Each structure stands twice: as C-alpha cells, then as structure tokens.
Structure 1
Amino acid sequence: MLVSAEVKSALDSGEDLVLLDIRIQQEIDKYYIDHPKRMVVPFNSLLERVGEIPQGKKIIIVDVNGQRGPTAGRFLTARGFSDVAFLNGGMQRWVVEGMPTKAGN
C-alpha cells in the first residue's frame, strides 16, 4: 500500500513502473492521473488482459477508493508479478490530497 505522495514521487522519479488504472470508463471520465506510464485495464477485465501487463516492473494499482486495489494486487501476485502495490484510498484520496489530475479521458 502506498500513500499519494509516494505514488507521485515514484512517477516523478522516472522509476520503471506501470500505473495500472483498474477503474471503469465512467469512473475514469471524472478524473485520472495523466502520466505516460498509466495503463487502463478495468478490474472486470483483469483475467482476460493480464497478459498485456508487463512483467518485471513495479505495478502500482489505482482504483476508485482503495476497495478493489488489494484484490487486484493479490490476483497479480498469484500470477507471478513480484512488485505490486496499490494507492491507499484510490483516486478519491488522491484528489482530496490535491494531487494532479486531468478531467475526462
């Protein structure tokens, strides 16, 4: 579990990672983290699309409110991903803490 400041620091540092946004399009349309390392794979598509997620990189999972992130993390860990974390409190906390977002997709 990572707090917003840790995620922002990892993104700003150029660390080799994937920011895995597991929200559905309607949730993303409200706001999202605009970063080239962001990859969208909705939670309900993880099983079918897990092969698209690069192995060997740190995976930071972003959900709406921190509820689905831990489940997605366990799913990825069980499939061989070794460095998986999630944004504590999801995008709701990210926004409340004043972190940068972009509206719509």
Structure 2
Amino acid sequence: MSVNKITAAEAKVMIDGGEDLVILDVRTQEEYDQGHIENAVLIPDTEISAKAPTVLADQNQTILVYCRTGRRSAEAAKKLVDLGYTHIYDFGGIVDWPYEVVK
C-alpha cells in the first residue's frame, strides 16, 4: 500500500461527490480551532498510532489527510498506511485550501 498524493481541488471533488469518506486534520487542537475543513476529524499527527484504531475503525474507508503545510499530513498518511489503512489520500496543507473553512 502507498499514500495517494492529491491536490486540494481533487480532494474537494471527492468531498463534494458525497462519497463515504473521512477528512482527517492532523494539526493541533489550537490550529483546528482557528479554522478547519467542514466535518474534519481531528487526530494530531503525534497521536495517530494511538487513536486511529479507535476513531477510524474501518481500515478500508477513504481517508483524506491534511495539516497546515503538508509535512505532517505526509507523515501521518504514512503512519496510517503502516497501520493497515488502504485508501489514504494526502492533500497537503490547509494553506493551499482555497475553499471555505469552519471557524
């Protein structure tokens, strides 16, 4: 398995397509509170290994991962693949997200 790297635009199409997916924010609680993508689930990148099995129970579900600039999302996406998740899409950082965010 490997991580699928996609653009913010590709992620937006997937989200708007109504597919059953999880939008995973791997930033800190403070960053999340400052603004996040609607319906995003927060699991800070440092807590992926501990929390993913509980929060993300379906390892075959499509998961779209993002952070602030793309570094942590790449690391978190790799951790998820290592944990056995099969449909991981890293769309980088919220700094490159030109769409609406929830504050």
How would you bin the TM-score normalised by the shorter chain? Answer: 0.7 to 0.9
Q: Is the 2:80–2:88 Cα contact (8 Å) retained in structure 1?
A: yes
Q: RMSD in angstroms over aligned alpha carbons?
A: 1.1
Shift of 1:86: 0.8
Alignment of 1:29-48 (within 5 A): 29-35=33-39, 38-48=40-50
TM-score, scaled relative to structure 2: 0.87
Selected match of 1:5 from 4, 9, 34 = 9
Unaligned 5+ runs, structure 2: none
Give SS of 1:65's match: coil
Identity %: 27
TM-score, scaled relative to structure 1: 0.85
Alignment of 1:1-105 (within 5 A): 1-35=5-39, 38-51=40-53, 52-53=55-56, 54-88=58-92, 90-94=93-97, 98-103=98-103
Higher strand share: 2
Q: Please list every run of at least 4 consecutive aligned residues from structure 1 whose deviation after the TM superposition is greater than 2 angstroms.
A: none
